[in-house]
Amino acid sequence: MINHSYLEQLKIQLSDLETRMSQPEVSADPRKMKECMQEYSHKKKLAECATRYLNLLDTKTESEAILADGGSDEELREIAEMEITEVEEKLPPAEREMMVSLIPPDPTDSRNVIMEIRAGTGGDEAGIFCGDLYRMYTRYFDVKGWKHRVMDVSPSESGGYKEISFSVEGEDVYKALKHEGGTHRVQRVPQTETQGRVHTSAATVAVLAEVEEVDIEIRNEDLRIDTYRAQGAGGQHVNTTDSAIRITHIPTGTVVQCQDERSQHKNKAAALKVLRARIYDNQQRENEEAQASERKSMVGSGDRSEKIRTYNFPQNRLTDHRIGLTIYKLDRVMEGDLEETLTALYEHDVEIRIKAQMAD
């Protein structure tokens, strides 16, 4: 229950956090400092929202008391009625904002991501669709002002890609893209189809949060590093030097590779970044599976086998199966107009978490 006593406790906690962040043992430790700053930011926002909400409740209570006092003069009563009308308009959004601020922040929301798109069922058409998805996302990134860079690519003979991985950097990138993981299905008439029949094919998308070295410890003795000659587009260095890197993490069997950079050193750094992200992602999944009820509160599981969305070209229709969203502007979506879909996913997730907060 949010009341003035709760708000005072929040202010005490904020003061304690300020003191803690000024201590040398915390300020000298990047991990501890980051945790304190995230907790401070969350509690400060919660305190601000609680203050607005409680001020509105106090105003409403005072105005109702004036109206209940039969001896109040008419002008004062009119002012009280106006204040109640104004407060009743402001209370619902203020209450929702406060409920949203009560949701514990996801520490990964502010991180950059590594995305991997792989052609699934559907043969050549799946590879073409893989390329279409990559183009769709990068156009959205350009609109948002986010930086993106290809890390590894395997072209498809008929166009598009067998698979492509790339990094994305910007503000709250993971927060915006974390629900994109899963199977994306396309329904359309392939260019090679002579009888005009609609085919169904698919591509899988993985969204991995980038992690720092302090988050995941990877020992050199646990790695097997192989070099090989880069393939495909990339300039004069392709097929002339063994600059491509393949790293195997022996304890988990995780294999990553990177060939897009010109130097072996840069490819190794990029591959290690992907490796840390994959290991971190696997650890997160294991934690979520151990907490099944929490996992059910999410918008989908992010499992790449889960069919999350259908792109129906003949009907110009996009359907997100997790939230029952259907929009008839697929042509614009494929040009990077993803804001409506991503916002709907975020809002749905917030509503589920608010209900979970209220049930606790």
User: Over the stretch 74-130, which tens digit does the pLDDT of each residue have?
Assistant: 888 889 999 999 999 999 999 999 988 988 888 788 889 999 999 998 888 999 999
| Same-domain pairing of 230 and 311 | no
Q: What is the pLDDT at residue 360?
A: 62
Domain boundary among 102, 129, 151: 102
Q: What is the pLDDT at residue 268?
A: 85
What whole-number distance in Å separates Cα of residue 89 and Cα of residue 84? 9
Domain boundary among 69, 102, 135: 102
293 belongs to a structural domain: no
360 belongs to a structural domain: no
The C-alpha torsion from 225 through 227 and 228 to 229, rounded to 10°, is 140
201 belongs to a structural domain: yes
Q: What is the pLDDT at residue 288?
A: 61
294 belongs to a structural domain: no
Q: Are 343 and 351 within 8 A, CB to CB?
A: no
Q: What is the pLDDT at residue 298?
A: 45
Domain boundary among 242, 257, 287: 287
Return the DSSP state at 181. Answer: -
Ranges of residues in the chain whose predicted pLDDT is under 70:
1, 70-72, 192, 194, 213-215, 229-242, 260-262, 287-305, 359-360
| Same-domain pairing of 282 and 312 | no
Q: What is the pLDDT at residue 273?
A: 84
| Same-domain pairing of 129 and 204 | yes
| Same-domain pairing of 32 and 172 | no
Sheet containing strand 223-228, edge to edge, reads 223-228, 244-249, 254-258
| Same-domain pairing of 122 and 230 | no
| Same-domain pairing of 130 and 248 | no
Q: In terms of C-beta density within 10 A (0-12 exposed, 13-18 middle, 19 or more buried), how is residue 311 classed?
A: buried
Q: DSSP H helical segments within the chain, as ranges? A: 4-21, 24-27, 30-68, 74-102, 124-144, 173-177, 264-290, 292-296, 330-333, 339-359
353 forms bridges with which residues in the sheet? none
Give the residue numbers spanning the domain of 37.
4-102
Q: In terms of C-beta density within 10 A (0-12 exposed, 13-18 middle, 19 or more buried), how is residue 144 classed?
A: middle
| Same-domain pairing of 269 and 161 | no
Q: What is the pLDDT at residue 275?
A: 86
330 belongs to a structural domain: yes
| Same-domain pairing of 185 and 308 | yes
185 forms bridges with which residues in the sheet? 202, 310
Q: What is the pLDDT at residue 286?
A: 72
Give the CATH number, domain containing residue 134. Answer: 3.30.70.1660
For residue 50, give the amino acid letter.
A
| Same-domain pairing of 153 and 206 | yes
| Same-domain pairing of 317 and 201 | yes
321 belongs to a structural domain: yes
| Same-domain pairing of 228 and 330 | no
Task: Please count the structural domains in the chain.
Answer: 3
Q: What is the pLDDT at residue 295?
A: 42
| Same-domain pairing of 178 and 327 | yes
176 belongs to a structural domain: yes
CA 76 to the chain's CA centroid = 50
